[in-house]
Amino acid sequence: MKRHVLHFLITAAIAVVTACVATQSAALAVSCESLANLKLPDVSITSAKSMPAGAFTPPEVPGEGRGAGRGPGRGVGDLPAHCAVQGVIKPTPVSVINFEVWMPANNWNGKFEGLGNGGLAGTISFGPMANALRDGFAAASTDTGHTSKEDPSWLENRERLIDYSWRGFHLTTVAAKALVDAFYGQAAKYSYYLGCSTGGKMGLMEAQRFPADYDGIVAGDAANFWTHQMMNEVWDGVVTGTPETNLPQDKLELIQTAVLKSCDALDGLADGLINDPSKCHFDPKQLQCKGSETSGCLTAAQVGAVEKMYTGPVNPRTGKKLYAGMYPGGEVGWGKPGGQVSINHEDKSGGSSDTFFAYALFQNPNWKYRTFDFDRDIQTADEKLGPITNATDPNLEEFRRMGHKLIYYHGTSDPLIPAQNGVNYYESVVSAEKSLNRTQEFFRMFLVPGMYHCANGPGATGFGGNTPASQKDADHDLINAMERWVEAGTGPQKIIATKYVENTPAKGIAMQRPLCAYPMAARYSGAGDPNDAGSFTCVKGQ
């Protein structure tokens, strides 16, 4: 009898506890505001508000959104009703990692999406979060531990550099998943990541350091070899930054025209795009002036500058190649006005390199980029900063073992991060796996002919983000392709990318081309409409 009474009391107690937990869970599932009371390690929830459907005005910050990979696109208007949570994560005494999570109030697709950043970050990627929210995802982004308006001296602090490089986003992912679980009363069925540039690096960093965080990662144009990418931006400035070596836009157009004349038809169609630029072996010496300089030729100094752009950084003492060079065929993009370019810099190097090296490496805000030593200084950077900032580990075996998937893309005309850097990383994974087929079971790469840094350019560069509903499927959209791969087991052999009229989806389709899983490349079949993706096949080599 006592045993039965004891059993009854224990059962009753469990029922009471279960009822309390259920009541709490139900409250959290319906009340956004109650999330302000959620307790998470090292996390302070500073705001939790139910937001009605409509427009959202983000803070005015420079460069927000592009690096995340969904592009600035539709901005942040016409948002569905959602729960917006803001918080701060402080894993160390100096850490201040701001993050934001948006969760659909209705029609949640049961999934979570983390969004990356661009450059030195310092902002929340509101535009890409808005796109994810519209597609039914719960979405999260972080400033990675500093603000864009903050003095760059934060780079001198090792802990804050770690927050920026990998810890801030990982902890944001952990916190966001906990908030999703609390708000809906259930965990997300699948978690996906999307990011380009620094965001591409963040995605690869997640796969390498925290393989359990995401079921599927879509990473693009990655600055994953960070110390050498910073060096590359310095190199591009040094080799073109004098009056003699400067490459004005008319000379870049001259070079690209000659490159296309030489290599455009290698893929079976002369259309202004080189589908496999690794097969283009263009010698800029053929443009060297025979006499005085004119607009139709290059000086010897300019020829040398172009050669060094194609070659990439080289150690002056050993002659060792330190980083990938630019592919031929995208020269106009090297100096595109308003672009994030690295050439023709006089006082400061382009991209993030001047700020990063001045503070993180030399801790001297007055550092002059032309003093960089491509032997001694890059070795110091690799030793001091590489273990924190670089995402180059080819060992993705734990990620593969978990059944997780990775899609990588890179624009062949990227004027900031050479596409060959992405190829080099992919091939290092193939080497580590000792098999291309084994690698493609979980990791596939797509080169995007004619795309600049993460977006734009003369090629078909629409393959996700702000695409019309008619293009939002697994054949045309990378996130949808990733969902099909993770959830149905069908990996993409090709993605149909779209070029819109005047780069405006509402104006219709100008052309479509297949992006082929590397090492395959698209080749024109010789018949059919060249603006139709069906007129191309994926072949290995040209």
451/327 Cα distance (integer angstroms): 12
> What does the buried/exposed string (b/e) look like for 300-314 if buried means 16 or more CB atoms within 10 Å of the residue's CB?
eebbbbbebbbebbb
* Selected catalytic residue, list 213, 221, 414, 477: 414
Tokens of 513: 């081309």
For residue 468, give both structure tokens.
């019309």
Give the active site residue among 95, 197, 349, 413. Answer: 197
Instruction: State the alpha helices, DSSP H only, in 210-284.
Output: 226-240, 249-263
Question: Are 409 and 417 contacting, i.e. CB atoms less than 8 angstroms apart?
Answer: no
> Phi/psi of residue 218, each to 5°?
-115, 115
The H helix count followed by the E strand count for the chain is 16, 13
Q: What gap in Å lies between CA 240 and CA 101, rounded to an integer? A: 43
Active site residue 197: yes
453, 410 in Cβ contact below 8 A? Answer: no
**Catalytic residue (choose from 82, 404, 410, 453):** 453
Distance CA 194, CA 69 (A): 6
Residues shown for the chain: 542
Instruction: Please tell me what DSSP assigns to residue 73.
Output: T
Q: In whole angstroms, give the CA distance from residue 351 to residue 107.
A: 40
Q: Please name the residue that has the structure tokens 């969904």.
A: 70
The answer to whether 73 and 131 are in contact (CB under 8 A) is yes
List active site positions.
197, 414, 453
